[in-house]
Amino acid sequence: MNIFVERTGKQHALEFTGTVSELLEQLKVNPETVLVSRDGQLLVVSDKVSPQDTLQILSVVSGG
């Protein structure tokens, strides 16, 4: 799978099959701080991902 991490601006190649939650855990990314998308569609932590996917991990920005 190809993963683009917006926070670092880096592209990663990874062999992974599982849920978004498991992927974020493996990458040591807090799921409360990011959004994950595939083909322009937002994913939830229970969605399955596969090695053929191209994902974007986008930082969530909040302010007051």
Q: Where are the domains of the chain?
A: 2-59
CA-based max dimension of the chain: 39
Q: How far is residue 7's CA from residue 52's CA, in Å, rounded to a whole number?
A: 22
CATH number of 2-59: 3.10.20.30
pLDDT of residue 64: 67
Q: What is the DSSP letter of 32?
A: G
Residue 11, both tokens: 């592209």
pLDDT in tens, the chain (64 residues): 999 999 999 999 999 999 999 999 999 999 999 999 999 999 999 999 999 999 999 999 877 6
pLDDT of residue 24: 96
How many C-beta atoms lie closer than 10 Å to residue 36's C-beta?
Answer: 22
The pTM assigned to this predicted structure is 0.89
pLDDT of residue 42: 97
Please, are residues 32 and 59 in contact by the beta-carbon 8 Å criterion?
no
